Amino acid sequence: MDLSKIFIIFSLMVSFTSATSVIDFCVADFNFPVTPAGYPCRNPANLTVDDFVFSGLSVAGNTSNIFNVGVTAAFDLTFPALNGLGISLARLDIGVGGVVPIHSHRVSEVILMIEGTIIAGFIGSDNTAYYKTLNKGDIMIFPHTLLHFQVNVGDAPALAFVSLNSANPGFQFITTSIGANDLPTEIVQRITLFDAAQVRRVKRLFGGTN
């Protein structure tokens, strides 16, 4: 990388990291790598209102998967105007019997129920479980980093929207992460207490090797 390019990236990062005090917004420029503070900014001179509108949440997500859930995200990569603003939104379509499997992320989440009936919950760091049946209009908080889940317990598909206080919340689904990696099965057994057949099953499901 030549020096002038390094300088451009550096100056974009400097202007970005003080985003809250000196500029109104910082629509992500994917020509540059992401930084701990997000992406550098696109030139405001060539933005239009359409850069601040995202219509992707108007359609139901695809629930044809083992969890019977469709998650449609308005995060920085899909909606670059969120970059640097510490906010994002996602749509959850949970089929009958479907779940959002247990997961965590770096930031807090609030869920707003639109249709259907779910049980939603999280597990505190002292292993206390907080869970409750939610119906249309209910909202619930999942505090930052804590493991949490949603289960459709109704007889119809459930629809909810979730908002998170980061443009890139960093989702980590436990079972998927355990199954999708290339750690040797024996190590996974030892660190999870799963038996070998269970480890091989989740590795098959989520594409892990070894």
103 is in an annotated binding site: yes
- Nearest residue (CB) to ligand NAG, 62 versus 133: 62
Q: Is the distance from CB of 102 to CB of 161 less than 8 angstroms?
A: no
Cβ 137 to ligand NAG shortest distance, Å: 29
Which residue in 92, 94, 137, 100 sits closest to 121, CA to CA?
A: 100
Q: Which residues of 113-137 are buried (b: 16+ CB within 10 A; e: fewer)?
A: beebbbebbbbeeeeeeeeeebeee
Cβ 61 to ligand NAG shortest distance, Å: 9
109 is in an annotated binding site: yes
Phi then psi for residue 144, to 5 deg, are: -50, 135
- Nearest residue (CB) to ligand NAG, 4 versus 46: 46
Cβ 43 to ligand NAG shortest distance, Å: 4
- Where on the chain is the footprint of ligand NAG (CB under 6 A)? 29, 42-43, 46, 62, 64
The two structure tokens encoding residue 39: 């992406």
115 is in an annotated binding site: no
- Nearest residue (CB) to ligand NAG, 48 versus 128: 48
Residue with tokens 């992460």: 177
- Nearest residue (CB) to ligand NAG, 80 versus 121: 80
Query: Which of helix, strand or coil describes residue 45?
Result: helix
Cβ 95 to ligand NAG shortest distance, Å: 12
- Cα–Cα distance for residue pair 199/79, rounded to 1 Å: 36
Residue-wise DSSP of 116-167: S-EEEEEE-TT--EEEEEE-TT-EEEE-TT-EEEEEE-SSS-EEEEEEESSS
Cβ 64 to ligand NAG shortest distance, Å: 4
- Nearest residue (CB) to ligand NAG, 68 versus 181: 68
148 is in an annotated binding site: yes
- Cα–Cα distance for residue pair 80/57, rounded to 1 Å: 15
Q: Is the distance from CB of 177 to CB of 138 less than 8 angstroms?
A: no
Binding residue numbers for oxalate = 105, 109
Binding residue numbers = 103, 105, 109, 148
Binding residue numbers for Mn(2+) = 103, 105, 109, 148
